Copies of this chain bind each other. A is one copy, B any other.
Amino acid sequence: MASSNYSYEYFNVTFPSEYVAQVEIDRPKKLNAFIDQMWINIGHIFRQLSVDPDVRVVILTAAGDRAFTAGLDVQAASESGALSDRSATDPARKALKLRRHIQEFQDDISAIEKCEKPVIAVLHGVSYGLAIDMTTCADIRLCTKDVRFSVKEVDVGLAADIGTLTRLPKAQLPMSFIKDVCLSAREFYAEEALKVGFVSAVYETKAVALEKALGMAKLIASKGPVAVQTTKEVINYSRDHSTLDGLNYIKIMNAAALQTKDVEDAIMSGLQKRKPRFAKL
């Protein structure tokens, strides 16, 4: 699919390899900080990728050397956004408006998690606030040596509400670490992120990290796409359900998924020592 279908002011969507899409946040002069239009756009992009038959894996990265993202553009938000809305004076009515606003914001970021295809995030430099919200939606996280993570929100007097406080625990890291970084907003770096398992690997530079991510993406893209998407769906489901529910769910999903021709193709290819080619979804 031509990238022209994915044309956005602050995002570059490219296709570095067959079945692999790459989404690059592109507002480097502002440390890739997010204005409202950007989170709306990222929602659109991932909803589109989710059903694009030419895409089997997505890489999420950001332009420039200095930052994956510094998070929400607080200055812009305080000038124009919901936080600065003065129209509702009754706290209960204001609460209602805030609920709707947060819901929309969450929905757009959650589109990354709901994307049917695996998402690999490559983090570098300043990776604050929204960086954590977005990449806890990704399936796999890689980073560079110079990364500087922070669950920044308490520093501006608010609790992170776009996903971090819910999804960081679901990333299954030690709770003592999660509470530490979320309650203090302190920075943490590549080594600690690797030790606790927030990232799966650390690379010397962004270039190397992207290359490794692409290799990983190609590998995943070479597998049966029915199997890959079922695998993602079932792991996410299992995270939020009991063991028994999880076992039942994969049973129901595979009752259809096992009827794919991919299994036959994979086994035949294995016997014939050649690489299988799987049909588009």
Contact = CB atoms under 8 A, between A and B. Distances in A.
A157 B243 contact: no
A274 to B, nearest CB: 14
B179 A196 contact: no
A156 B263 contact: yes
Contact of A260 (B91, B196, B254, B262): B91
Given A173-B197, A184-B219, A154 B235 contact: no
Chain A: interface size category: 35 or more
A35 interface: no
A90 interface: yes
Count copies of this chain in the complex. Answer: 6
Interface in A33-91: 51, 74, 78, 83, 90-91
Interface of A: 51, 74, 78, 83, 90-96, 98-100, 102-103, 106, 110, 113, 118, 139-141, 153-161, 163, 165-180, 182-186, 196-200, 216, 219-220, 223-224, 226-232, 234-235, 238-247, 249-267, 270, 276, 278-279, 281
